[in-house]
């Protein structure tokens, strides 16, 4: 059996970027993906919050990230549909304008508070009466699936192998992982990188490893191309998703994550919408914390709630055709990804937990690949999975 330098498990945006960056470092790479229809990347808005760095590390990565996005289509030789557009973070009437603005003051490029009338000038579809104002900032945007495809094409052009198969287990010999198993075949590698989003957790749990990697179940509505036009990406200024992620990833919840069928928090709904260049729209998003990977979800009820929430702000979206979708979004306890060697097991690496990957993942993948072949990088070392292991 041929032994490659790296097997990368998972072809969401994390695995796609990592596998490409590794072949660029002259590594032989096999990318294996189950082609799940419910990856976080598949239903992502694709927004690039390059303004949102808060410390030296995240500011540097956001800046490098947006510079990379600006030339990524050229580099990969395929369109990511990169553009810059307005992000309007709408403020509901029950929220205080100044207090909301204060929450954004610490970002590298702080969004600016604007009136409801100015927000409606920017986005004519907004309902003036439903908002008290908005925070405005320039945001980047790509088509998430096209960006994955662009990485994949460039990866294959550089000699990377890409197969569709579900990894059912890892090959462990003593304290070393030497490859992966699929239903039809085993594959050998010197390093196995797990970039399988929420599925990274059960893949590692099968080896008896509990990693501090968590997930929410996200529900959205996906529309076909529609006639109306949205100028901006709309999201709530007082978003509840990041607070939810912080709450359910506290160390005291760790035992509950190992127990199936646990609901760790009440669901939240952050009403938002983005239109892609083909005219289709994603309307989001309900986030639920359920420890089971495939819980039974109330699709009809969720769709009605999503439609009601977005119609209040963007009335034209009330009756657009569209279908309910479900996917999972992974995250870690401190907002940074979990990357690099899994302590105590040779040959096993993580590359997951990117809750908002489009801002920082591109430079992280590039620097990680260089670090993995021997280049020193203190920034990558702050994100190593080892920070959560004793």
Ligand X SMILES: Cc1cc2nc3c(=O)[nH]c(=O)nc-3n(C[C@H](O)[C@H](O)[C@H](O)COP(=O)(O)OP(=O)(O)OC[C@H]3O[C@@H](n4cnc5c(N)ncnc54)[C@H](O)[C@@H]3O)c2cc1C
Contact positions toward ligand X, by CB under 6 A?
9-15, 32-36, 39-41, 43-47, 166-167, 195-197, 199, 203, 218, 220, 284-285, 327, 329-330, 352, 354, 356-359
Closest CB 225 distance from ligand X, rounded Å: 18
Helix spans in 85-229 (H): 97-103, 116-122, 144-157, 200-205
Q: Which residue number, 24 or 288, has a Cβ lying nearer to ligand X?
A: 288
Q: Which residue number, 97 or 380, has a Cβ lying nearer to ligand X?
A: 380
Closest CB 117 distance from ligand X, rounded Å: 26
What is the rounded distance in angstroms from the CA atom of residue 245 to the CA atom of residue 265? 10
With vertex at residue 195, the alpha carbon angle to CA 191 and CA 197, rounded to the nearest 5 degrees, is 155
What is the rounded distance in angstroms from the CA atom of residue 367 to the CA atom of residue 22? 10
Q: Which residue number, 9 or 113, has a Cβ lying nearer to ligand X?
A: 9
Q: How far lies 100's CA from each of 54, 130, 236, in Å?
A: 17, 16, 11
- Is residue 337 packed enough to be buried (19+ CB in 10 Å), middle (13-18) or exposed (0-12)? buried
Residue facing ligand X at closest CB distance: 12
Closest CB 56 distance from ligand X, rounded Å: 20
Q: Which residue number, 97 or 340, has a Cβ lying nearer to ligand X?
A: 340
Give the torsion through C-alpha atoms of 91, 97, 102, 105, to 10 deg: 60
Whether 348 contacts 170, CB under 8 Å: yes
Closest CB 74 distance from ligand X, rounded Å: 21
Region at 35 (left for phi over 0; alpha for psi -120 to 50; beta for the rest): left
Q: Which residue number, 116 or 217, has a Cβ lying nearer to ligand X?
A: 217
Q: Which residue number, 97 or 345, has a Cβ lying nearer to ligand X?
A: 345
Closest CB 257 distance from ligand X, rounded Å: 17
Closest CB 140 distance from ligand X, rounded Å: 9
Closest CB 338 distance from ligand X, rounded Å: 10
Q: Which residue number, 97 or 178, has a Cβ lying nearer to ligand X?
A: 178
Whether 282 contacts 273, CB under 8 Å: yes
Q: Which residue number, 11 or 291, has a Cβ lying nearer to ligand X?
A: 11
Closest CB 259 distance from ligand X, rounded Å: 21
Bridge-based pairing state of the strands 29-33 and 176-181: unpaired
Q: How far lies 102's CA from each of 98, 113, 234, 271, 278, in Å?
A: 6, 10, 19, 21, 36
């Amino acid at each position: 059996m041929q032994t490659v330098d790296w097997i990368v498990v998972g072809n969401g945006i994390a695995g796609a970027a990592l596998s490409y960056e590794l072949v660029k470092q002259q590594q032989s790479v096999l990318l294996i993906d189950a082609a799940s229809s419910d990856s976080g990347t598949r239903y992502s808005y694709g927004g690039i919050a390059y303004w949102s760095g808060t410390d030296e590390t995240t500011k540097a990565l956001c800046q490098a990230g947006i510079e990379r996005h600006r030339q990524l289509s050229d580099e990969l030789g395929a369109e990511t549909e990169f553009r810059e557009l307005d992000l309007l973070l709408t403020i509901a009437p029950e929220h205080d304008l100044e207090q909301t603005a204060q929450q954004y003051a610490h970002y590298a490029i702080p969004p600016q508070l604007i009136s409801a009338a100015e927000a409606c000038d920017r986005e004519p579809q907004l309902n003036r009466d439903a908002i008290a104002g908005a925070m405005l900032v320039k945001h980047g945007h790509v088509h998430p699936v096209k960006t994955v495809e662009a990485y994949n094409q460039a990866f294959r052009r550089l000699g990377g192998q890409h197969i569709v198969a579900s990894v059912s287990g890892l090959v462990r010999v003593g304290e070393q992982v030497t490859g992966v198993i699929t239903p039809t075949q085993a594959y050998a590698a010197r390093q196995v990188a797990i970039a399988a989003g929420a599925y990274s957790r059960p893949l590692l749990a099968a080896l008896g490893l509990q990693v501090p990697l968590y997930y929410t179940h996200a529900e959205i509505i996906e529309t076909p191309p529609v006639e109306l036009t949205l100028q901006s990406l709309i999201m709530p200024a007082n978003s509840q998703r990041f607070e939810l992620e912080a709450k359910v990833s506290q160390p005291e919840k760790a035992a509950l994550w190992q127990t199936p069928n646990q609901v760790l928090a009440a669901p939240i709904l952050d009403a938002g919408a983005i239109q892609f260049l083909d005219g289709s729209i994603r309307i989001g998003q309900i986030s639920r914390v359920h420890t089971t990977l495939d819980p039974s979800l109330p699709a009809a009820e969720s769709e009605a709630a999503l439609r009601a929430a977005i119609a209040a702000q963007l009335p034209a979206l009330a009756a657009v055709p569209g279908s309910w979708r479900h996917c999972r979004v992974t995250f870690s306890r401190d907002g940074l990804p979990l990357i690099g060697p899994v302590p105590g097991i040779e040959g096993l690496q993580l590359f997951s937990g990117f809750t908002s990957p489009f801002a920082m993942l591109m430079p992280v993948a590039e620097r990680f690949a260089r670090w993995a072949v021997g280049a020193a990088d203190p920034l990558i070392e702050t994100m190593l999975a080892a920070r959560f292991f004793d």
